[in-house]
Amino acid sequence: MRRGWPHSLTKEYRLNKHLYLMILPAFIGFITFHYVPLYGIVMAFKQYDLILGFQDSPWVGFKHFASFFNDPYSVRIIRNTLLLGFYSLLFGTLPPIILALMLNEFTNQRWKRIFQSISYLPHFIAIVVIVGMMVQLLGPDGIVNTMLVSLGLEQIYFFNQAEYFRTLYVTSGVWQGVGWGSILYLAALTGIDPELYEASYMDGANRFQRIWHISIPGIMPTIVILLILNASDVINVGFEKVYLMANPAIYETGDVIQTFVYRRGIVDRNFGFATAVGLLNSVTSFMILYAANRIARMTKQNSLW
Amino acid sequence: MKTTGFGNKVFDTVNFTLVLLLCLMIVLPFWYMFVLSVSDPFKVGMKEVALIPQGVNFKSYMAVLQENQIVNAYWNSIRYTVVGTFMVIVVACLTAYPLALQRFGSRKAITILFTITMFFSGGMIPTFMLIRGLGMLDTIWAVTLPAVFGFWNIIILRTNFQSLPRELFESAYMDGANDWRILFQIVIPLSGPILATLTLFASVGFWNAFFAPLLYLTSPEMHPLTIILRRVLVANEVLSSEAINSANSLVMDPIADAGRTTSIRMATVFVTIGPIVLIYPFVQRYFVKGILVGSVKG
């Protein structure tokens, strides 16, 4: 069948009118919930006035952007966002790959499946529960501090000291995501031609050599693709977890762009300013994704588009 | 492949042990919280409880299930999840079907229109203004409808529809069956596993949602479990049942009170993650297949 627009408009209507009816709800929904907010970005260039409303609020050009860069906190939240994202990527990339390689070496399929199921579980648990769990374990009455005290050491207030925030955020993220992250690598490993392993066995390769020379090259394209996809997360640090974990005492490390936007926009009702900051965030995020894709292309690996 | 020989045995044992340790690290925190929720409050308060339950009782669960706020939040979580998931599945089916058909003239244009939304979004504030402008603040629609229109689900389902044997529904079409009948009587019944996967993902998403309820639900009686959990677990707010419990105890005992509070908090956690942990073993064999289908073309 030909691609594109295969027939006249009348024929298209006669043939496919039911299809248009089917897709109508999604069409309306995507326009409403995605494209209308995209248009709402013009608020970044307006001084939002509750009485005048969205349309009639006066234009202010780049005033909000300027005041963001003059804000004493702007450097701090950009630094925090990037560092948190960077550490998550740095420490979060390798563990799923290693877990997948280890599971792939299992000869007992039953245990492999059981361990896989266990390792996926935290992915399905709400962030608020994970954070609550950390508070319970690491709080003043938690098991960790109880042990520290019984060993004659001082209590540590993990959630009130800025220097622990990043470590806790990244570690708990790896804990929660390592199993789920390994799924795609495991699938890629299953796709490797078994004859390669047979041949290496004939040549007397040991298990490590097989992993190094067959398994890892076999999943390299997957690793690159996922790195590209995750690269833009460097700036899209999850709002929920930071919001739940941080408190004003540790904003020095625990305040990121999204939580800043939330406070200035939703809490303080400074809509124009918060929209501007959010816009900077999404533009940067897209640029990182684009750049990562370009780099991947230049190295002649797979790319997204 | 042969895995005999001493070296291989050592490798397998070490490998097994390391993965086992990782799994223990994942399971033990949950187990610890569960033990706290069923143990004797005094022992919990004395911090004598670690991995072995002591004085097992389910009073904390009784207290949680008698707490009006939690019962109400439970009901909210259930209705947001059911309504939201239902809409996700209906919209995904209705949208994926036309996009899977070659003869649908606007296929490319609509795919591009929807794909753009995966890369660009208006962000938190414009979306909030829209929801407010539509009068949806503090209603079930604010926490369900926006999440319905995600292209990811639709792509996964479309890819799956395209992989069905084409002759099946094209011959039905030639025989004069209209698109609605083909979708509901042929295509959907053949897509059981993928629909189960999408249902799981969508319902877990709604059940665990925190961001949308935080932004859009202002009155306490609309709050789902996640918002209550934040107040209880993270902000250390004391629920009324905890206060009543300690008021009712005949002897003033700060240690037992502290233990009781901890116990009740942990019970709240398990009441919340209970449904997921209970259905998880039954559905998990589907979702691996599901995520792979999604990644092939995504």
Residue B290 has pLDDT above 80, yes or no: no
ipTM for the complex shown: 0.87
Contact between chains at A266 and B215 (C-beta distance less than 8 A): yes
Contact between chains at B291 and A184 (C-beta distance less than 8 A): yes
User: Are the C-beta atoms of A78 and A259 separated by less than 8 Å?
Assistant: no
Rounded to an integer, what distance in angstroms lies between the CA atom of residue B182 and that of residue A139?
A: 57
Which residues in chain B are contacts of A26 at CB distance < 8 A?
91, 94-95, 114, 149, 154
pLDDT range class, residue B298, cuts 50, 70, 90: very low
CB atoms within 10 A of CB B139: 15
Q: What residue ranges do the domains of chain A occupy?
A: 9-56, 68-298
User: Are the C-beta atoms of A102 and B21 separated by less than 8 Å?
Assistant: no
Hey, what domains does chain B have and what are their CATH numbers?
A: 6-66+239-297 (no CATH), 68-221 (1.10.3720.10)
Contact between chains at A33 and B127 (C-beta distance less than 8 A): yes
pLDDT range class, residue B4, cuts 50, 70, 90: low
Among the partner residues B33, B50, B125, nearest to A136 by beta-carbon distance: B33
Looking at residue B292, its pLDDT comes to: 64
Percentage of chain B beyond pLDDT 70 is 90
Contact between chains at B183 and A22 (C-beta distance less than 8 A): yes
Among the partner residues B110, B123, B229, nearest to A132 by beta-carbon distance: B229
Handedness of CA B19, B25, B30, B36 (dihedral sign): positive
Per-10-residue mean pLDDT of chain A, 305 residues long, equals: 62 86 95 93 87 83 90 90 91 94 90 90 92 88 85 86 91 93 89 88 86 91 83 80 89 89 90 91 86 76 55
Top CATH class, A68-298: mainly alpha
- Output the DSSP codes for B45-67: HTT--SSS--S---HHHHHHHH-
Looking at residue A8, its pLDDT comes to: 79
Looking at residue B248, its pLDDT comes to: 57
Contact between chains at B123 and A117 (C-beta distance less than 8 A): no
Indicate the angle between helix axes B192-208 and B254-297, nearest 10 degrees: 140
Q: Which letter does DSSP use for residue A139 in this model?
A: S
Which of these, B298, B15, B7, lies nearest to B157 by C-alpha position? Answer: B298
Rounded to an integer, what distance in angstroms lies between the CA atom of residue B282 and that of residue B275?
A: 12
Which residues in chain A are contacts of B106 at CB distance < 8 A?
20, 23
Averaged pLDDT for residues B282-292? 70
Burial string for A35-73 (b: 16+ CB within 10 Å, else e) reads ebbbebbbbbbbebeeeeebeebeebeebbbeebeeeee
DSSP, collapsed to helix, strand or coil, labels residue A295 as helix
Give the best residue of B117, B125, B273 to mutate against chain A (max A CB count within 10 A).
Answer: B125
Rounded to an integer, what distance in angstroms lies between the CA atom of residue A10 and that of residue A264?
A: 52
Looking at residue B291, its pLDDT comes to: 64
Q: Which letter does DSSP use for residue B177 in this model?
A: -
Looking at residue B241, its pLDDT comes to: 58
Contact between chains at B180 and A18 (C-beta distance less than 8 A): yes
The nearest alpha carbon in chain A to B18 belongs to: A102
Contact between chains at A27 and B110 (C-beta distance less than 8 A): yes
Looking at residue A297, its pLDDT comes to: 76
Least confident of A18-22, B53-57, B286-290: B286-290
Residue B251 has pLDDT above 60, yes or no: no
- Looking at the complex, report in whole angstroms how far the Cα of residue A210 sits from the nearest Cα belonging to chain B: 12
Distances (CA, A) of B243 to B237, B239, B249, B258, B264: 11, 7, 10, 11, 11
Which residues in chain B are contacts of A41 at CB distance < 8 A?
122-123, 126
Looking at residue B297, its pLDDT comes to: 40
What residues form DSSP beta bridges with A46?
A: A59
Rounded to an integer, what distance in angstroms lies between the CA atom of residue A113 and that of residue A106?
A: 10
pLDDT digit string (tens) for B122-132? Answer: 889 999 999 99
Which of these, B40, B32, B33, lies nearest to B259 by C-alpha position? Answer: B40
Looking at residue A2, its pLDDT comes to: 45
User: Are the C-beta atoms of B3 and B12 separated by less than 8 Å?
Assistant: yes
Which residues in chain A are contacts of B280 at CB distance < 8 A?
117, 121, 124
Give the pTM. Answer: 0.88
Residue B249 has pLDDT above 60, yes or no: no
Q: Please give the structure tokens belonging to residue B223.
A: 């709050």
Looking at residue A147, its pLDDT comes to: 86
Averaged pLDDT for residues B24-38? 91
Which of these, B120, B122, B147, lies nearest to B211 by C-alpha position? Answer: B147
Highest-scoring range by mean pLDDT, A80-89, B4-13, B277-286: A80-89
Looking at residue B246, its pLDDT comes to: 54
Residue with tokens 């206060």: B243
Burial string for A139-171 (b: 16+ CB within 10 Å, else e) reads bebbbebeeeeeeeeeeeebbeeeebbbebbbe
Instruction: For chain B, give the number of residues.
Output: 298
Q: Is A248 exposed, middle or buried (0-12, 13-18, 19+ CB in 10 A)?
A: exposed
Q: Is B192 exposed, middle or buried (0-12, 13-18, 19+ CB in 10 A)?
A: exposed
- Looking at the complex, report in whole angstroms how far the Cα of residue B53 sits from the nearest Cα belonging to chain A: 15
Looking at residue A55, its pLDDT comes to: 80
For residue A3, which amino acid is it?
Answer: R
Which residues in chain A are contacts of B27 at CB distance < 8 A?
118
Instruction: Please give the mean pLDDT across all residues of chain B.
Output: 85
Rounded to an integer, what distance in angstroms lies between the CA atom of residue A3 and that of residue B101?
A: 11
- Looking at the complex, report in whole angstroms how far the Cα of residue B187 sits from the nearest Cα belonging to chain A: 14
Rounded to an integer, what distance in angstroms lies between the CA atom of residue A76 and that of residue A234?
A: 15
Distances (CA, A) of A31 to A27, A256, B117, B137, B151: 6, 29, 10, 19, 12
Provide the number of CB pairs (under 8 Å) joining chain A to chain B: 254
A51 vs B20: which has the higher pLDDT = B20
Residue with tokens 């202010």: A60
Instruction: For chain A, give the number of residues.
Output: 305
pLDDT range class, residue B281, cuts 50, 70, 90: confident
Rounded to an integer, what distance in angstroms lies between the CA atom of residue B67 and that of residue B268?
A: 10
Which residues in chain A are contacts of B150 at CB distance < 8 A?
none
Distances (CA, A) of A88 to A98, A127, B23: 16, 16, 21
Looking at residue A1, its pLDDT comes to: 44
pLDDT digit string (tens) for B36-48? Answer: 889 888 888 777 7
Which residues in chain A are contacts of B172 at CB distance < 8 A?
none
The nearest alpha carbon in chain A to B268 belongs to: A129
Which residues in chain B are contacts of A102 at CB distance < 8 A?
15, 18-19
Looking at residue B44, its pLDDT comes to: 80
- Torsion angle of the four alpha carbons A267, A268, A273, A276, in this order, in degrees rounded to the nearest 10: 0
Looking at residue B211, its pLDDT comes to: 93
Contact between chains at A135 and B234 (C-beta distance less than 8 A): yes
Q: Which letter does DSSP use for residue B148 in this model?
A: H
